Amino acid sequence: MKNQIFNPYLPNYEYIPDGEPHVFGDRLYVFGSHDRFGASFFCDNDYVLWSAPINDLSEWTCHGVIYTKDQDPLNRKELNPLFAPDVCQGTDGRYYLYYCPCNTRSIGVAVCDTPSGRYGFLGHVCDGNGQLIGQRENDPYPFDPAVLVDDGNVFLYVGFSPDLNWDFMEKEFGTVPLQSGPFVIRLSDDMHTILTKPKKVIITDCPDPGHDFFEASSIRKINGFYYFVYSSWNSHELCYAIGADPEGPFTYKGILHDNGDIGIVDEDRRVSYTGNNHGSLVEVNGQWYVFGHRQTFWCSYARQGVAEKVYLKEDGTFDQAEMTSCGLNEGDLLPEGSYGTYIACHLTAKDGAIHYVDLCDDNMRNNHPAFIQDGEDREKDPNQYITNMRDGSVAGFKYFSYKQNINLSVKTRGDEGLFEVRTAFGGEPVAEITLVSSEDYIDSEAVSCVIPPCEKFALYFTYKGKGRIDFYDFTFHR
């Protein structure tokens, strides 16, 4: 790689959740929805596309807007958000984009001759009579489509489990009964007419209701088997199930990714603020990755893509990926230069982190740190950082490796206090950094930071003080 790459892997002004990674040719493309920083609902921006060459995942290129809300005839009046999409290469060699505009009860299809070009509206997924899937009685809820082209057959996966709020469903979708859960539908060669009735996707051996399907269908074929990836009722995790047939049944195998690392740490403790999750698997040059997203700004409407290495075992399963700051990087990060705090993979208040649904009012937000930016949405240098660290708040970064003693300085603004620096969560402090009160950012350096050479270590900064601070970056000194 020409450069180091972090989590989030795109520039810190970009908010693309629901990432579906696909390799087409010699590039890795990530198709996702598009949040707007400061918005009050999901997916407020039009679809844009980013890609990187498969031989250097640090060199991401933005291809600009590939599809807009008003291109769908059913959406031109209201301009409802475009939720999570997926893309496949059709049997004719062209590329097909599947998406569901909010509140339209439809699955849209757009097409392009290249994966990165401007997609044009093709039609809606419908039956042979032209009736739209999602508007007929007992159709699946049209949400989060995923698509697989396998041996000339086209399989569309779609669905949602809105059992928690049927009053909302009736209000938004009227009296047409829709089916809860994931479904699979075979499509014809025209890529939008169904060949089969929607079939319920069966997932067996799920250990408890929390890991059942909720949303975010994704499908991959690996070594002749089909991997159904989805977001569970727990909301913050991506689970997966494996089957021998693309239409199922699938057997539950575990968690791939959790944006609070629940399942890796103690079940009752999360290492960062959790929210919904959506993503999938991709293999690049023999290395498998799982893509997901994290939350920022005390809400679920400014999400950013993250990715981690995962390892395919001989039995075809994956272990859960650990949330890190290095993600797609070829190895651990170098203890050189400055790092922005927006790459923290651990962020908690004194009493821990919570789910973002619980951060519903200003009083709750005042007690918790968050990722934030000073600039407007998609401003090229928005100065993203951690705000509102109060007594006991922890920001953690994983992993680094080094071969000699190092020292540290930090850039903060706010009230006086100190940072306790640790190389393991809950470990003994290896240094203290005194912070003075300031309205502007100032640098503060550890007096005697004793971090001996180590093959792998983390950095945890715990704020101690009576006020609050903003934490902008930290710098290594030799």
What are the distances in angstroms from CA 427 to CA 140, 421, 478? 50, 9, 23
Identified catalytic residue from 14, 18, 35, 86: 18
Cα–Cα dist 403/55, whole Å? 27
Residue owning tokens 């795109």: 10
CA torsion sign, 86 to 190 to 222 to 119? Answer: negative
In the chain the first and final C-alpha atoms are separated, in Å, by 24
Contacts with 130 (C-beta within 8 Å, 6 or more apart), sequence order: none
Q: How many other C-beta atoms lie within 10 A of the C-beta of residue 257?
A: 31
What are the distances in angstroms from CA 43 to CA 25, 100, 340? 28, 11, 26
Burial of 5 (0-12, 13-18, 19+ CB in 10 A): buried
Q: Please say whether the beta carbons of 419 and 432 come within 8 A.
A: yes
Retrieve residue 439's tokens.
């309205």
- Please name the amino acid found at residue 468: R
Residue owning tokens 């928005």: 382
Verify whether residue 322 is a known catalytic residue.
no
Contacts with 44 (C-beta within 8 Å, 6 or more apart), sequence order: 34, 35, 36, 81, 301
SS3 128: coil
CA torsion sign, 344 to 350 to 351 to 357? Answer: negative
Identified catalytic residue from 35, 44, 144, 215: 215
Q: Quick one: which of 140, 199, 215, 125 has its CA closest to 173?
A: 140
Q: Please say whether the beta carbons of 420 and 403 come within 8 A.
A: no
Retrieve residue 88's tokens.
């496949």
Contacts with 439 (C-beta within 8 Å, 6 or more apart), sequence order: 413
Retrieve residue 428's tokens.
């003994």
Cα–Cα dist 206/211, whole Å? 7
Cα–Cα dist 230/418, whole Å? 42
What are the distances in angstroms from CA 54 to CA 283, 347, 372? 10, 31, 31
Residue owning tokens 């209701």: 209
Verify whether residue 215 is a known catalytic residue.
yes
Catalytic residue set: 18, 215
